[in-house]
Structure 1
């Protein structure tokens, strides 16, 4: 998830461009025959079964365990204020240089 500058994933908060570089370089290094990706803007409700089915994706109730409950537990364990502020400060330093 990102606001365009700061991103959040299972590792925590980072700058979006660093996260993308980490993943694209990491996967490309694993597959010498080539690997690439493209970013897609999601313009539908990721929790709505009809929207998900229309986009050939599974809804939360179609997984073995409730992913919404698991995600909420994960998010509740994270201190969001400090790490996101640190990542945003790195962006400001990068812009100033």
Structure 2
């Protein structure tokens, strides 16, 4: 039985993979004022059920409280103990206008 060469498999996979949208966002703790820039990414395909949101890098003093597939559900925690979403619902609503 003859198999498909590896390079053909890889090229057919590339056409079905979605492109990741990468961006930076300034984070600021509403409690202590700790601030910095986070690097994040998500799949840029409006037909997907969820965008597979990921935070690739966080500034010093911030950590992941709860990972999620959407920016509004992805919870961060500042070193002071304050928890907040990566993107607030108000930010999301303003972006839709």
Instruction: Say which structure is richer in strand.
Output: 2
For Structure 1 versus Structure 2, the TM-score category normalised by the shorter chain is under 0.3
- TM-score of the superposition, structure 2-length normalised? 0.21
Larger Rg: 2
TM-score (norm 1): 0.21
Give the number of the structure with larger relative contact order, counting CA–CA contacts within 8 Å between residues 6 or more apart: 1
Q: Which has the higher helix share?
A: 1
